[in-house]
Every structure is written in C-alpha cells, then in structure tokens.
Chain A
C-alpha cells in the first residue's frame, strides 16, 4: 500500500516542486523588470531574434491555416447552406484562437529551444559564473530582456499572423470557392469585433511570456554536457507548448465564457 502511494505521490511532489521553482523564477524575473540596471542593447537584440526573425515562420503558418480553415468551414457550412459564414468564421477563428495558439506554438518551437540551448551552453561553459564574477546578475542580464522581448513581440506577431491568416482565407475563398472579393472583405470587416482581435493579442503576450520563461528556466537548470543542454532544450519546448495550450483554455474561459 505504501509502495503504491509512493509511486503516485512521488511524481506529484516532484511536479509541485518544479511548479514552485518556476513560480519563484517567474517572480524573480518580474521583480527585476522595473529595477535598474536596464540592458537595452540585450532587449533590442532579443526583440530582433524573437520577434523579427520569427515573422516568416508565423506568416507561413498563418497563411496555410487561414486557407485550410476556409476550405473546412465551406465544406461544413455547405451541409446546412451556410457557406456565406466562411469570411466571418475565418476571421474570428484566426484572431481569437488559431493566430495566437499556432503562432505561440511555432514561436515556442523556434525560440524556447534556442533560448534554452543558448543559456544552457553558457551555463556548462561557465559563462554564467563569469557574469556573476563580473558583478552582473545573470537573471537580469539574460532572462529579463528575453522575457520582456517575447512578451512585447508576440502580440505583434499574432497581429501579423491574424492579417496573413485572414488573407489566406480570402485567397482560397476568392480563387477556389468563388467568393466575390469585395463581399468577402466586407463580411470579414462587418462581423469582426475589436475584442476578437484584442483577446488574441492579450493571449499572444501571455504566450510570449511563457515561451521565454520556459526557455530561460530550463536553460538555467541545464545539467552538464551536451546531453544536459539537449534535455533542457527538449524540456523547454515541451513545457512551453503544454503551458500555452493550458493557458489558452484558461484565458478563453475568462474572456468568453458566458
């Protein structure tokens, strides 16, 4: 009996310990954001790396998703003569859900892995110890700029992804499904509300925070050697992806449950 309880209890306790560590880590980062010194150069570099260089992958994901969404809604809507809802559902689906979630997952794959690998390598090559001996707080120098950059960049990426996704739907709608271009755009604009877009941007900011937080946390926790860095990178991507999906459900409940 004790063995069975132990087998179930141990992973639960380990998960709670890990959760506690992540919360403390996040708290420490938040505590440093508004306190000097500020590393603006590192912030600018991180915005470039996380935001600008993620545009192609987010854009490509959005255009194919928007196109596929238009086809699916058209096929589904045709069952009860509701093909005309394609523009509005594509727009709402992209802005509320698919833009932020798929954008977040793509950025998690691209950014959480690179942050964890970079910081993990710095840890195993003693660069983080070197920062400390040079009177520089590694958390403030490495983690804070990345977390702030990701939190600021993700809403912009989501906005761009929304626009490209809707354009993908329009492209498929007008070339494959015989929609009139002007009517498609009018329907999109008429049914789309500001909060549809705004809620997606808020989700984007939360997902950006999660992505960078997981990258930095697992990088800082990296064990020695190439295997340690590899494990940290994998853990960063997996945990960021799962947390994005979980946070998406919670935020959707908060924003849209009636």
Chain B
C-alpha cells in the first residue's frame, strides 16, 4: 500500500502540494485527476524520490520511502513518462531492456533482447521495431515502447504520467486498454495521472481529484459521476463555469 500523509511541496512562492493525504491499496488502479499545474506530476515524483517533499510522510507498505534502500525501492517501480522519455541514443530494444542488463541481476544481452522483444509484442509492436531508434517511431509507438520499458522488469507498482496525451482517440483507446490489461494481468498497483476522462473510466478502480494542493475528493470510479462535489462535477463534465477558475 502507498500512503501519503500531509505532504507539502512548494517551489519558491508556488505552494503546489498543501497537505496531500492519499492511500492506494495494493493491486488497485488509482487515477489522479486535476487541472494543469495542480501538482499531479509533482505528487508522483515525490513518491519516487525525484522531488523531495518539504514535509509530510510517504510510505510504501508501511516503510518510509525516504529511508528505504534506494535501488531496492526503485526496482519495485515502473514508470511511463508523459513524453515517453526514451533514450535517443539507444535502440528501442535497449531502451526496453535498460534495467534488465544492469544491476546485480543483470541478464545476458541476448536474453535481455529476447525479453524486450516479448514485451514489445505485448504492447502490440513487431520485432522489427526493436532495432530502430526512438526518433524513427511515431508518438503512439513511442508511448508503447515507454509502456514496454515500464513493464519490462515486471514491477509491483507502475506509474503512468498522462499516458494518452498527444495521441489520437483510437491510439488513446489502444493505450488505455493495454494499461488496463497489463495491470490486471500483472496484478500490479497502478497510479495514473490524466486529464482524459475516457482514460479515467477505462483504467481506474479508484479516482482522486487534486485541486488547490489537496485531494478534494477520492472514491471508487463508479461513484465519481454521482458525487455532489462541485469541483469533481465541473472537471468531469468539462464545464467552464464552476468553482474551478478558468482563464479565458
């Protein structure tokens, strides 16, 4: 279980997180929604240790993440970044197998390549893609490679940062379905941040809305439409009028 208690983070005068409390049960898929610049990515990065919170505690299975053995902790995670974050200088299979060929449990190169090709196949890409460079792929293919890299080492917890941003609706649907299938198949805990309500309904078991630096509402996805919270209602229906200020 991932638990955040009273997490604060500010960048200069900008108080991004102002006391976030959130629990994500093992084996469930939590989707965090919220407007642009509300700190969703910062929240994920705080859990991973890429950004250090100013105060509050973040625990994974009861252990404070800041006190955990860093390599062992990160080995439990996979992450799909918003832009893919594929390494330009490495071929596709080398990106996917990046973790597999390093560290104390490193696989031989040939075996790692086989695993990478199997993971590429799992996300719907042909083996011929393995020897291409990321710049030779379309945006949708890059997302799939990023997904293959996130699941390559079969992590217990997978983070998805805006997995469908910049994709056409059909490709977005394909990525949503893949994420759902993979999370269920692996029994992994998933945390996804997105603005895309189609993604929310396809991926989530639970939803949390981040606004004003705090979790405004959290609950099962089935209860999201019925919640009277005006912030959630405005956001999920994409209304310009409501408590969330929109700049025109």
Contacts and interface: CB of A to CB of B under 8 A. Distances in A.
A17 B70 CA distance: 29
B160 interface: no
A130 B75 contact: no
Interface string A122-151: 100111011011111000000000000000
A56 to B, nearest CB: 22
A76 interface: no
A133 B77 contact: yes
A136 B85 contact: no
Given A132-B50, A133-B48, A126 B77 contact: no
A130 B71 CA distance: 14
Given A132-B50, A134-B99, A135-B102, A126 B74 contact: no
B147 to A, nearest CB: 13
Contacts of A125: 83, 85
A129 B86 CA distance: 11
Interface in B34-63: 45, 48-50
B86 to A, nearest CB: 8
Contact of B85 (A37, A45, A129, A135): A129
Contacts of A37: 102
A45 B94 CA distance: 15
Given A127-B87, A129-B50, A130-B87, A136 B102 contact: yes
A135 B101 CA distance: 12
B102 A126 contact: no
Contacts of B86: 127, 130
A141 to B, nearest CB: 9
A185 B62 CA distance: 76
Contacts of A135: 70-71, 74-75, 99, 102-103
Interface string B81-99: 1110111110000000011
A133 B87 contact: no
Nearest to B75: A135
A132 B74 CA distance: 8
A127 B149 CA distance: 13
Nearest to A128: B85
Interface string A105-130: 00000000000000000100111011
- The bracket for how many chain A residues form the interface is 10 to 19
B36 to A, nearest CB: 14
Residue of A122, A129, A133 with most chain B CB atoms under a 10 A cut-off:
A133
Contacts of B103: 135
B110 to A, nearest CB: 16
B50 A133 contact: yes
B190 interface: no
Contact of B82 (A45, A126, A127, A133): A126
B172 to A, nearest CB: 20
Contacts of B98: 134, 136
Contacts of A133: 48, 50, 74, 77-79
Interface in A189-229: none
Contacts of A136: 98, 102
B207 to A, nearest CB: 24
Contacts of B48: 132-133
Contacts of B149: 134
B128 to A, nearest CB: 24
Contacts of B102: 37, 134-136
12 contacts: A122-B88, A126-B82, A126-B83, A129-B81, A129-B85, A130-B86, A132-B48, A132-B74, A134-B149, A135-B71, A135-B74, A135-B103
Interface of B: 45, 48-50, 70-71, 74-75, 77-79, 81-83, 85-89, 98-99, 102-103, 149
Query: Nearest 9 A-B pairs (CB), nearest first?
Result: A130-B85, A126-B85, A135-B74, A133-B79, A126-B81, A134-B99, A127-B85, A135-B71, A129-B50
